Amino acid sequence: MEYISSLLTNAAGYMPLISFSLLTLAGFNLPISEDIVILLSGALGAIYTPHMLPFIYAGCFAGAYISDIISYSLGRFAIRGLAGHRLLQKIISIEKIEAMENYFVRYGSKTLLLGRFIPFGIRNVIFMTAGFSKMRLMTFMLVDLIPLSITSSITFLLGIKAGTNYHNILPYLNRFKEIIGITALIVVAILFFVHKMRKRCNPESIHD
């Protein structure tokens, strides 16, 4: 336990970069939960590097925002590029594509505003659909910015609250220890990798 605590303390300075990287990767539909990453970032920052909380939040926000744009771009350029392919046409007819485009012209902004509050990968589907339906990129970015500011701020603050009071909530975490344990192991593995890379890039720090 002391080793893990020491590892987290030494590598915590990289939390803004780690959070940013994980959230950016989530835009490619990898199984990475945006909410869990932001929540853990706030909690770990509150415990180990409270002075870096603004930078950690900036990393989370930037990563989540870029992630949304990546999902939009996948729909706009990758999936949309297959629109003329016979296989895709068997799944989605031209009529359905036109109906989807008309829907996003009329209700796209409202759909994005509401969809931003839905977790578990549904957001990415909505963002890709917005891109596929040729919603303007600037419109997408402006509409997404407002709910993202709300969701990321609330989730990050909840993480800080949990980190600040982790001694008090520890007894309740036993109910979910398997899930928490797996998530913690993933975070520790990433931090361990960063710590090793830091030593490799700065060999003289080993002798400090």
pLDDT at 207: 47
Q: CB-based burial of residue 122 (10 Å sphere; 0-12 exposed, 13-18 middle, 19+ buried)?
A: exposed
Q: How many CB atoms lie within 10 A of CB 45?
A: 27
Separation of alpha carbons 166 and 129, rounded Å: 39
Q: What angle do CA 74, 29, 55 make, to 5 degrees?
A: 100
Task: Please name the residue that has the structure tokens 């920052």.
Answer: 45
Q: CB-based burial of residue 52 (10 Å sphere; 0-12 exposed, 13-18 middle, 19+ buried)?
A: middle
Q: Among 88, 60, 86, 59, which Cα is nearest to 75's?
A: 88
Taking the complete model, does pTM exceed 0.85, yes or no? Answer: no
In the chain, domain spans: 2-207
Separation of alpha carbons 100 and 91, rounded Å: 14
Q: What are phi and psi of 82, to 5 degrees?
A: -95, 5
Separation of alpha carbons 96 and 23, rounded Å: 31
- In order along its 208 residues, the chain shows pLDDT tens digits of 455 566 666 667 789 999 999 999 999 988 888 999 999 999 989 988 899 999 999 999 999 999 999 999 998 888 877 765 555 556 566 667 677 777 777 888 888 888 888 876 788 888 988 898 888 999 999 999 999 999 999 999 999 998 888 766 556 555 555 555 566 666 666 666 666 666 666 655 444 4
